Amino acid sequence: MHGQYFQLYFNRLQALKPRAREAARARWPTMPTRAVLELCEDEACVIVGTIYKDMKDKPIILDEYVKGYGEEAEGAAATTREERATYTREDDGLEFEDEGARVKLLGVDAGKFVTGVVCAVKGKAVKGDFLVDDVVAYAPPTTGEAKKSKSEASTATKYVCLVSGFEIGGNDAAASARNQMFVDYVTGASIAYGDESPSDSDAAKICRVIIAGGTMDLKTSSEEPSAATSEALKELDIMLAELASAVPVDVMSGKTDPTNKAMPQQPLHPVYFPEASKYEKTMCLVTNPHDLTVDQTSFLGTSGQNVEDVMKFSTIDADDVSSAFVGAAAAKRPVAALTQTLRWQHIAPGAPDTLACYPFKDRDPFVIERTPRVYFAGCQDAFGYERVSHDPAAGVADTLVVAVPKFSSTGIAVLVDIDTLSCRSIQFL
Amino acid sequence: MFGVTKEGHSVCAHVHGFEPYFYASVPENFGEADCAAFRRRLNEEVSAARKNAPGVHVVDVSLERKQSLMHYSDVKDRLFAKITMGLPNMVSAARGILEKGFSVPGVRDGAFTTYPTFESNIVYALRFMVDCAVVGGNWIEFPVNSYTVRAKKASHCQIEVDIMYDKLISHPAEGEYSKLAPFRILSVDIECAGRKGHFPDAQLDPVIQIATLVTEQGSDKPIIRAVWTLDTCAPIVGADVLSFKDERELLRNWGNFLRGCDPDLLIGYNIVNFDFPYLLERAEKLGVADFPYWGRLIGTKVRMRDTVFSSKAYGTHESKEISCEGRVQFDMLRAIQRDYKLSSYSLNAVSAHFLGEQKEDVHYSAISELQNGTPETRRRLAVYCLKDAYLPQRLLDKLMYMYNYIEMARVTGVPLNYLLTRGQSIKVMSQLLRKARQRNMLIPHHVKQGGGNVQAEGGVAYEGATVLDAKAGYYEMPIATLDFASLYPSIMMAHNLCYSTLVPKDKVGKLNPDDYGTSPSGDTFVKASKVKGILPEILEELLGARKRAKADLKKATDPLQKAVLDGRQLALKVSANSVYGFTGAMVGQLPCLEISSSTTAYGRTMIDHTKKMVEEKYRTVNGYTGNAEVIYGDTDSVMIKFNTPDLAESMKLGEEAAVYVSETFLKPIKLEFEKVYWPYLLISKKRYAGLLWTNTENYDKMDTKGIETVRRDNCLLVRQVIETVLEKILKQRDVQGAVKYVQSTIADLLMNRLDFSQLVITKGFTKEADSYGVKMAHIELAQRMRQRDPATAPVVGDRIAYVIIKAAKNAKAYEKSEDPIFALDNNLPIDTKHYLDHYLTKPLLRIFEPILHNAQSVLLHGEHTRRIAQPTPTAKAGGIMQFAKIRLSCIGCRAPISDEKMSKSLCKNCLNDESQHLRKALASVNNLEGDFNRLWTQCQRCQGSLHQDVLCTSRDCPIFYRRKKVQKDLTEATAQLRRFDW
């Protein structure tokens, strides 16, 4: 039975609160921590809780009733709402809530937050509101794997190939050809790029392919499945079968794939892929978000919905990316947004408020329980990455944050060296 | 007299020396000497009537020369006795004696004589206000040295003075004195812990919380936000929480606060009929003797009694009347019920309508649970309670009630509280009194007829307004609308219709024919050249003031000032129109059918006249594009089709015609061109819709009248279908689109694909089932629900929501009603046909019949009605399903699955297309997931907390049923998806 969403928020707060409190203690050792209910006027203190962002332009379902059923039935209202790139406004405000009560936050830039973020803020109560002293502490990253000491045995370089957004279904011969190039490259059927010889090529060092969503392009969720979709599924099936015959492949579900839409997305059903499914050991249909460990290097990623959500509901922009950023300018904003979710220690704080998700009762699966070495989001407009160093005190190894672009529009796949975390793109034109 | 100073200090002034009086008509030979005897005799009679109470009841009798308001007369003054009484409540006793008659020695030789009385039914307070030229909500000055300040106060006010009534100076509301006083406004809401299944009863159920907000008029933030709670309560940021162990203490403390804070205005939602009586009854039950002292006078207890307020304009309401000296009770519910036509007046619906937000609604059965929980749950309740106390204040501000009502009080000269508790007539009476006084005239006391009589008389009273036959149809050409500006007031002014100009039939012959005019109804009034009527003069002033206010409004830039001026001009308009109603109100204070029937008669001839003139002039033979045709006319407007497809030309012709016809009327009657409807759908009399244009660039809005868009007893579906259809026809000019939309909606309805909440109908459960004569669907349902679970069944006072379900054949309509939640839980099939036949058919046909020839067959019997869907019935639905055995069926073709080992989801034949069927099942899950997410997050947002569960059970909110249904549907759809061995 589907319940309500409050448990999800409650569990999120329970999971992240002790960590945020710890971060606050490290940052402001002498400052008392208060519950919102205990706030006294003018007393400087720290409060820990969940952000709620009050946005005037946030789409609400009640509008449907104002606009009338007719438009809604035709999907007009729904599409106009989807089309907006951002819903932020100057006068968006923040509220802050713990288990007991809610208080308005003043003195912070609301634009940089989204609803659902758990953090600690320092400040004081002024006339019933809470005036923040401009500093905020998030839960510190939790230790993942200890830094791996490179064993002598495995000096060989190994790559994980990150790719997303094949968007098969456009019936476009050029696109199909390009997809085939990618398959040939990975399977070693093609000559390598540049002056590498086939045996020595990077392709041969790919130990796993992760497809971060967007294998299909089901923009319309019409109830009657079309023949075109069936055709596209067949094409995809063959492509996956080829890949799986050479390397292990993780196929994550994405926004435009034929699975459920709410996060976490369930794996694609094997019935779609009668051929590829024959490779039981190497063909992995997985959830979105997906986490896995390849040779002790932990990966965590999504098919991009979380990044899209943060960009829609915050003003986190290209300027927020650190100097460590490498890549196309168009990838700056997604990388900044993704990095921010890492800092928030939550993959998708916007869920469920602005991002549909399952109403979990006993946990919040989106809380980052252990900090990954590679943190990625698929289906982005451009390629870019950033190596994020964590607070040395936490003793957590660096994380590589990667925006994986759509293959269909960029022809780019990403290779990540699982030992050095060095990262580069290869483009198929 | 109570008031506020500019600085916001409350003032209590004891005004002395003003004695009640009235007049009686006496014979011309009544001499000064007779006065004494008259006084003595009247005093005796009054004493006798008051059980021989001794003393001087009749203080003074003196003679004055005045004139009666009623009928035109050549004689300018007649003899009247002014009778001054000792106490206001003696007036009616004395009046009764005089009108019944008695004998006075020396007058007409001691013969038994009746004396018609004048101005003998004027409320003392109004009398005082009229004589001192005081109006409601105006500024009064006490000149220096004219008053003394009281040391030993008798009231809770900050300043208390004594003054003689003739010393105070009343300032007209102009310039500096047009400002509003800084009233203290106290907004209140209470919560009670009802027992399971019962509406809270003051005799049994405790008051658990009182939330109070104090605001000063003109400031946008409350000064005090506080909540009194029974039992502990966690603190609330930005509000004071006062917790009490004992309910008596709680009440006592709140009472002290009320007196200490000394508000001028008490506001709230339904306070007069719920919150206040509940508090008072509760205090009495608990024996809190010092509680019911809410008034400003120390030691004066609040008295409560039942009243029935009945007014032609506002309908009949039973209510409580609570006396509370010096504090005006302003119940937002009442005010909004008076001033706005809404489909629902619940606080939720009202705030959704005016403030654009849904309100969390905690059902009163959930309140007890919250109360019996922890300090945190009680805090939650307190936050809710505070919100409810804040909403009336926000409504008050948003709707600018203070400005509008004070303007109204000032213009019509009545105290503020009359505006809510009394009808329109007192306002007219107040103005009439003021005018008559200036002219040395007296208003006769109208002896009211007995109840039955009035009805009969009212029935044959007079003919109402004219409505020209509507030429129903869908007009694609612009339709110009000419309106008479303030029709009835201007007729009364033009023809000098008044009490004082009416010539009795037998006197008509004596007048010079140039001096009078006879109305189409056959009544005669002298012309203004002879003597000007009082009513026309009042109207002139009202309309003149309105004109000024409107002119100022145009000039004004400050939004606040604009609000004030707009409030004023509206108040003036309403007042002007009520003058006509006053003369026609049979149960009123001074009905005069000659005036009202003449007014409507003039109106009728004018409409006919306009039609004739327009249709004669605007013809092709006279060089115009087309032959004009009046397609409809109602009371004060005429719709003209000039037969030109050009909007600008229609507007030009409309303006021209307005001037042309106006010239033939007496001033100030004026026909104005206001708007063009284009296109225009005329269904029948008083039912039309059209796009309204006042300029040639953009249309202003869609205007509808008499069409099922706002009726509260309809389900949402009807409203939405009608609105969309009109939108398509009028705005998009897409009749085919509208037809297609109707067809697809009907198909959706029959296929059971519609949003469930659209089918929910709500009706008020106002009295116990026995007292209804016939069986009503919702009442029957309430009884059935009580049998199921008495704890959650609706009780009197609730609104009952229901849907119509399929029942056994030949079931009566009232047997088909079902609780929406129960229907959802048990998969009871909706009787979609019933909705189509009983709710949609008629309004749709009304709209489409003028447009389509075969509306019925196209809309209601087409291909789209062939497919219907029904959910699988469950055992709960009764019938044969109780004996059925459930077996898995193929998701693809519904054939029973024979080999469950092979697949749990599909039969052998469908298995090949498994991928397709899977995607189909996914699509429905995805739609539901999306809806589920948007619905439940909305509720989470609306309740203002992320970490607490949603408790709201507001059945007025469109989301309520939908979120419940989606929860269930999603669970089912997901279960089905699981069968694909995922």
User: Based on the domain organization, do B893 and B962 belong to the same domain?
Assistant: yes
Residue B450 confidence (pLDDT): 43
Looking at the partner chain, which of B376, B934, B949 has a beta carbon nearest the beta carbon of A100? Answer: B376
Where among B141, B159, B176 does a domain terminate? B176
Alpha helices in B556-692 (DSSP H): 559-584, 593-617, 647-662
Please, what is the angle between helix B593-617 and helix B487-494, to 10°?
Answer: 100
Residue B980 confidence (pLDDT): 72
| CA–CA separation, B579 and B430 (whole Å) | 11
Is B424 inside any structural domain? no
Is there a contact between A5 and B948 if contact means CB atoms under 8 Å apart? no
Residue A178 confidence (pLDDT): 85
- Which of the residue ranges B410-424, B437-451, B683-697 would you say has the lowest mean pLDDT? B437-451
Looking at the partner chain, which of B927, B967, B980 has a beta carbon nearest the beta carbon of A2? Answer: B967
Looking at the partner chain, which of A50, A61, A125 has a beta carbon nearest the beta carbon of B946? Answer: A50
Is B643 inside any structural domain? yes
The token duo for B186 is 């106290």
Residue A376 confidence (pLDDT): 92
| CA–CA separation, B171 and A138 (whole Å) | 64
| CA–CA separation, A311 and A354 (whole Å) | 11
| CA–CA separation, B290 and B252 (whole Å) | 7
By DSSP bridging, strand A249-252 and strand A206-212 are parallel
| Contacting residues for B621 by C-beta, under 8 A, at least 6 apart | none
The token duo for B427 is 């306002």
Where among B667, B702, B737 does a domain terminate? B702
pLDDT per position as a tens digit, B712-745: 556 778 877 888 888 888 887 788 888 888 888 8
Looking at the partner chain, which of B235, B924, B948 has a beta carbon nearest the beta carbon of A37? Answer: B235
Q: How far apart are the first and last CA of chain B?
A: 80
Average pLDDT over residues A15-44: 83
User: Based on the domain organization, do B29 and B91 belong to the same domain?
Assistant: yes
Residues within 8 A of B (CB atoms), A 262-301 only: 262, 266, 269, 271-272
Looking at the partner chain, which of A9, A97, A352 has a beta carbon nearest the beta carbon of B933? Answer: A352
Is the Cβ of A18 closer than 8 Å to some Cβ of chain B?
A: no
- Which of the residue ranges A367-376, B67-76, B313-322, B587-596 would you say has the lowest mean pLDDT? B313-322
pLDDT per position as a tens digit, B209-223: 899 999 888 777 888
**Residue A78 pLDDT > 50, yes or no?**
no
Residue B466 confidence (pLDDT): 64
C-beta of residue A301 within 8 angstroms of C-beta of residue A266? no
Specify the DSSP element, H or E, that contains B743. Answer: helix B735-750
Is the Cβ of A40 closer than 8 Å to some Cβ of chain B?
A: no
> Using a CB-CB distance cutoff of 8 angstroms, which residues of chain B are in contact with residue A127?
238
| Contacting residues for A14 by C-beta, under 8 A, at least 6 apart | none
> Using a CB-CB distance cutoff of 8 angstroms, which residues of chain B are in contact with residue A233?
915
**Residue B950 pLDDT > 70, yes or no?**
yes
**Residue B710 pLDDT > 70, yes or no?**
no
Q: What percent of chain B has pLDDT over 90?
A: 0
User: Based on the domain organization, do B207 and B168 belong to the same domain?
Assistant: no
User: Based on the domain organization, do B865 and B901 belong to the same domain?
Assistant: no
**Residue A256 pLDDT > 50, yes or no?**
yes
Is B809 inside any structural domain? yes
**Residue A73 pLDDT > 50, yes or no?**
no
Shortest alpha-carbon distance between residue A272 and chain B (Å) = 6
User: Based on the domain organization, do B352 and B500 belong to the same domain?
Assistant: no
| CA–CA separation, B557 and B555 (whole Å) | 6
Is B663 inside any structural domain? yes
Is B829 inside any structural domain? yes
Sheet holding B117-118, edge to edge: B117-118, B21-25, B78-85, B58-68, B441-442
**Residue A18 burial (CB count, 10 A):** 11
Residue owning tokens 């990623």: A301
- Which of the residue ranges A156-170, B606-620, B797-811, B860-874 would you say has the lowest mean pLDDT? B860-874
Residue B197 confidence (pLDDT): 63
Shortest alpha-carbon distance between residue B228 and chain A (Å) = 17
Looking at the partner chain, which of A2, A99, A229 has a beta carbon nearest the beta carbon of B947? Answer: A99
> Using a CB-CB distance cutoff of 8 angstroms, which residues of chain A are in contact with residue B919?
225, 229, 258
DSSP states along B302-319: PEEEEEEEEETTTEEEEE
Look at the pTM and tell me if it is higher than 0.80: no
Residue B901 confidence (pLDDT): 58
> Using a CB-CB distance cutoff of 8 angstroms, which residues of chain B are in contact with residue A99?
947
- Which of the residue ranges A349-363, A365-379, B364-378 would you say has the lowest mean pLDDT? B364-378
User: Based on the domain organization, do B669 and B786 belong to the same domain?
Assistant: no
Q: What is the ipTM of this complex?
A: 0.81
DSSP state of A205: G
Residues within 8 A of B (CB atoms), A 150-189 only: none
The token duo for B17 is 């020396």
**Residue A80 pLDDT > 50, yes or no?**
no
Is the Cβ of B953 closer than 8 Å to some Cβ of chain A?
A: no
Mean pLDDT, rounded, of chain B: 79
User: Based on the domain organization, do B403 and B538 belong to the same domain?
Assistant: no
- Which of the residue ranges A10-24, A228-242, B293-307, B870-884 would you say has the lowest mean pLDDT? B870-884
C-beta of residue B135 within 8 angstroms of C-beta of residue B170? yes
| CA–CA separation, B657 and B652 (whole Å) | 9
Residue owning tokens 């399929």: B806
**Residue A147 pLDDT > 60, yes or no?**
no
Is the Cβ of B978 closer than 8 Å to some Cβ of chain A?
A: no
Is the Cβ of A36 closer than 8 Å to some Cβ of chain B?
A: yes
Phi–psi pair at B729, nearest 5 degrees: -70, -45
Is there a contact between B945 and A102 if contact means CB atoms under 8 Å apart? yes
User: Based on the domain organization, do B873 and B893 belong to the same domain?
Assistant: no
**Residue B746 pLDDT > 50, yes or no?**
yes
Is B707 inside any structural domain? no
Is there a contact between B920 and A1 if contact means CB atoms under 8 Å apart? no
Is the Cβ of A227 closer than 8 Å to some Cβ of chain B?
A: no
Residue B886 confidence (pLDDT): 58
Average pLDDT over residues B930-952: 78
C-beta of residue B907 within 8 angstroms of C-beta of residue B921? no
Is there a contact between A68 and B723 if contact means CB atoms under 8 Å apart? yes
Residue A77 confidence (pLDDT): 39
Is there a contact between A62 and B959 if contact means CB atoms under 8 Å apart? yes
User: Based on the domain organization, do B107 and B251 belong to the same domain?
Assistant: no
**Residue B283 pLDDT > 60, yes or no?**
yes
Is there a contact between A101 and B236 if contact means CB atoms under 8 Å apart? yes
User: Based on the domain organization, do B589 and B615 belong to the same domain?
Assistant: yes
E-strand spans in B412-507?
441-442, 467-468, 473-475, 479-484, 502-503
Is the Cβ of B980 closer than 8 Å to some Cβ of chain A?
A: yes
Is the Cβ of A225 closer than 8 Å to some Cβ of chain B?
A: yes
Residue A148 confidence (pLDDT): 52
> Which residue does chain A place closest to B239, by CA atoms?
A128
Shortest alpha-carbon distance between residue A257 and chain B (Å) = 10
Shortest alpha-carbon distance between residue B299 and chain A (Å) = 37
Is the Cβ of A357 closer than 8 Å to some Cβ of chain B?
A: yes
C-beta of residue B339 within 8 angstroms of C-beta of residue B574? no
> Using a CB-CB distance cutoff of 8 angstroms, which residues of chain A are in contact with residue B935?
61
Residue B222's domain is classified under what CATH number? 3.30.420.10
Q: How far apart are the first and last CA of chain A?
A: 48
Cβ burial of B523 (10 Å; 0-12, 13-18, 19+) is buried
Residue B836's domain is classified under what CATH number? 1.10.132.60
Residue A316 confidence (pLDDT): 85
pLDDT per position as a tens digit, B139-176: 888 888 888 888 888 888 888 899 888 888 888 877 77
- Which of the residue ranges A303-307, B353-357, B457-461, B856-860 would you say has the lowest mean pLDDT? B457-461
**Residue B141 burial (CB count, 10 A):** 12
User: Based on the domain organization, do B498 and B640 belong to the same domain?
Assistant: yes
User: Based on the domain organization, do B543 and B606 belong to the same domain?
Assistant: yes
Model confidence at B859, pLDDT cuts 50, 70, 90, reads: confident
Is there a contact between B949 and A6 if contact means CB atoms under 8 Å apart? yes
Separation in Å, CA B935 to CA A356, B137, B404, B967: 11, 47, 38, 10
**Residue B813 pLDDT > 60, yes or no?**
yes
The tally of domains found in chain B comes to 5
Looking at the partner chain, which of B720, B924, B971 has a beta carbon nearest the beta carbon of A223? Answer: B924
Is there a contact between B920 and A261 if contact means CB atoms under 8 Å apart? no
Residue B519 confidence (pLDDT): 84
| CA–CA separation, A66 and A72 (whole Å) | 10
Is B569 inside any structural domain? yes
DSSP states along B353-388: HHTS-------HHHHHHHHTS-HHHHHHHHHHHHHH
Looking at the partner chain, which of A5, A68, A222 has a beta carbon nearest the beta carbon of B720? Answer: A68
> Using a CB-CB distance cutoff of 8 angstroms, which residues of chain A are in contact with residue B920?
223-225
Model confidence at A302, pLDDT cuts 50, 70, 90, reads: very high
Residues within 8 A of B (CB atoms), A 50-79 only: 50, 52, 60-62, 65, 68-71, 73
**Residue B67 pLDDT > 50, yes or no?**
yes
The structural domains of chain A, ordered by start, are: 3-55+92-136 (2.40.50.430), 159-427 (3.60.21.50)
Residue B612 confidence (pLDDT): 86
Looking at the partner chain, which of A70, A129, A353 has a beta carbon nearest the beta carbon of B720? Answer: A70
Residues B680-705 as b or e (16 or more Cβ within 10 Å = b): bbbbeeebbbbbbbeeeeebeebbbe
pLDDT per position as a tens digit, A190-247: 655 554 544 456 777 888 899 988 888 765 544 455 666 777 888 888 888 888 888 8
Is the Cβ of B310 closer than 8 Å to some Cβ of chain A?
A: no
Helix (H, G, I), strand (E, B) or coil at A37: helix
The token duo for B394 is 């926000």
> Using a CB-CB distance cutoff of 8 angstroms, which residues of chain B are in contact with residue A68?
720, 723-724, 727
Residues B261-292 as b or e (16 or more Cβ within 10 Å = b): ebbbbbbbbbbbbbbbbbbbbbbeebebeebb
Q: How much is the CA Rg of chain B, to the nearest whole Å?
A: 34
Is B358 inside any structural domain? yes
Q: Which of A371, A338, A408 is nearest to A163 (CA)?
A: A408
- Which of the residue ranges B99-103, B657-661, B891-895, B977-981 would you say has the lowest mean pLDDT? B891-895
Shortest alpha-carbon distance between residue A256 and chain B (Å) = 12
Q: What percent of chain B has pLDDT over 70?
A: 85
**Residue B196 burial (CB count, 10 A):** 11
C-beta of residue A7 within 8 angstroms of C-beta of residue A361? yes
User: Which residues face B889 on adjacent strands?
Assistant: B896
| CA–CA separation, B183 and B219 (whole Å) | 10
Q: Pick from A133-147, B387-401, B687-701 the range whose average pLDDT is largest.
A: B387-401
Residue B850 confidence (pLDDT): 76
pLDDT per position as a tens digit, B623-639: 887 888 888 887 778 88
Where among B634, B667, B702 does a domain terminate? B702
Domain assignment of residue B584, given as a range? 448-457+465-702
Query: Angle at the Cα of B751 (from B745 to B756), degrees rounded to 5?
Result: 75
Residues within 8 A of A (CB atoms), B 905-924 only: 914-916, 918-920, 922-924
Specify the DSSP element, H or E, that contains B242. Answer: strand B240-244
User: Which residues face A219 on adjacent strands?
Assistant: none
C-beta of residue B197 within 8 angstroms of C-beta of residue B795? yes
Q: Chains A, B: CB contacts under 8 A, how many? A: 162
Residue A187 confidence (pLDDT): 82
Residue A134 confidence (pLDDT): 67
